[in-house]
Structure 1
Amino acid sequence: MASISLQNIVKEYGSGAKAVPVIHNLNAQIHDGEFVVIVGPSGCGKSTLLRMVAGLEEITGGTIAIGDRVVNDLEPAERDIAMVFQNYALYPHMSVFDNMAYGLKIAKVPLEDIKQRVDKAAGILELGHLLQRKPRELSGGQRQRVAMGRAIVRQPQVFLFDEPLSNLDAKLRAQTRLEIQKLHRELGITSLFVTHDQVEAMTLAQRMIVMNGGVMEQFGTPEEVYNRPASTFVASFIGSPPMNLLKQAPGLAAGQILGIRPEHLELSSAGWELKVDTVELLGAERLVHAHLGTETLTLRLDASLAAPAAGQIFYARPKEGCLHHFNAETGKRL
């Protein structure tokens, strides 16, 4: 296992005046054995960053180190990493066992060692009864587990996951997230996991890098990112529904944006006067979408409470200590 050091990382496509920057001077230290998720919208640079760590993309500037080795000029095969992609990339004519063992055979690992490694990985991933099947005989979730097993048997210093759950349905994604958490607990291998899904990021990460337009907006634990977002972008991207961001609210100073999470607004007999637009019932909770003057906001209420109806005027107030203030010009937290 090994730490990952990203120092002043820059990536540009093209050169000179026509160069297009996609990663802007990024710095991050990932600890030995840590599971870090890189999250952000499409086109923010998260997969490009992962591919630079893997050696599949050249870096324009900066230093990438895995453990005590600078790997800028090393080929992917020399970096002691294993990568799991969005598409499973399994050989259709090979059995599950042979797919998992293929890289070890190419590396001329002794057959007995190969069998031990594959059997151990299959046991961790509950694939033991599927080792003789072909990929076409497997479900999507099973194929993804085979792809993870192929990475495990390599016994690398670092796992790199590039949106590995995107092709799975919602139920399988949730199940596979649990399997990945279990896998990390058992193996403890340093992992970088890329996703656009903030739910995946919040549930998997020990720490998370939130990317926006090639810039690292925040690097922290899920609790830090959710409870103290560093910018309006982070506040609006992390959380479902996202944080309410108000440019006009009672008591708001000029040049500021006020943030409040939907669950931190409570019904009251006085306070902010709101008018209901719509109400969504989501089982144990309700989402009330309302207007505060010209601003729109959302409240998350327990379904056991009597919710106001569409068109109704009601009052709500922020819970104490739950307001966030941002600079209106820069979007940064104050």
Structure 2
Amino acid sequence: MKNKLFYFWLTLFFTGTGCHDPKYSGNPILEGWYADPEGVIFNDQYWIYPTYSDSYSKQVFMDAFSSKDLIAWEKHERIIDTAAISWADSAMWAPAIVENGGMYFLFFAANDIQNNQSVGGIGVAVSETPSGPYRDYLGQPLLDTIVNGAQPIDQFIFKDTDGQYYMIYGGWRHCNIVRLSDDFTKILPYDDGSSFKEITPDQYVEGPFMFIRNGRYYFMWSEGGWGGPNYKVAYAIADSPFGPWERVGVVLEQDPEVATGAGHHSLINVPDTDDWYIIYHRRPLSETHHNHRVTCIDRLEFDDEGFIKPVKITFQGVEENRL
């Protein structure tokens, strides 16, 4: 009799009566209009640093969001705003963040400069904690000029295997890579004396992102117009952060049944696993305004040859994954 009862309760457990269904994040994962999300893991927590998606005159601050499981997200309001940056007055967007020496460095673009006579460009802020508040690190932009046709926006900070930090950036269909000093105070020249190397791949528009997997370098970027439905993400693979970058294909784009304008992404790789998440913005089907963008998350996977599989954008999002 005892054995029968044991197997009865065991059967109930494994058929669902005694266990919980998996929890999913749902999409969008953040409440409100947010775009250009930078995803990262700090101190066993997931973090997302997005652009506040509104008119340039209202893009004067940034919020951050943290989670232990990809399901529940805590909002950290106004981790930085233009009041802390003497030279910035608007269009504060596309954050990139990195921990270095126990400090957190937030890179951002501000003022949407259109020429080399304007004040603005890419700045750096610093804080002792991921949630801020962040204060101006340099008192001036790190980069305030247009070089090789690349507007100084959409910066991504990449640390190579030798410990060298690079900043990969650029709008207006041009992308540069520069070497950064270890303390992020200046751009260092290369051995040939140049300071800026252009690495623009075919159809690049903006939003660069780089990572290493199995010894190979992956470069990703956004294509199309950010305000339209055909915004998307493509990628290339090379043996060096300098390329050459030959476009492989599109991995993230709209689904007319789900959302449009899917682009300007980042990735999170769970440490010591091959679990990858793509964090990106998209435009709900009910919205047509270019600033009505929401931040979402879905799985990113690779095939046996290391190519990225096309991402299926979903309303479901991703399953709970506690760090």
TM-score range, shorter chain: under 0.3
The answer to which structure has the higher helix fraction is 1
User: What TM-score, normalized to structure 2?
Assistant: 0.28
The answer to which structure has the higher strand fraction is 2
User: What TM-score, normalized to structure 1?
Assistant: 0.27
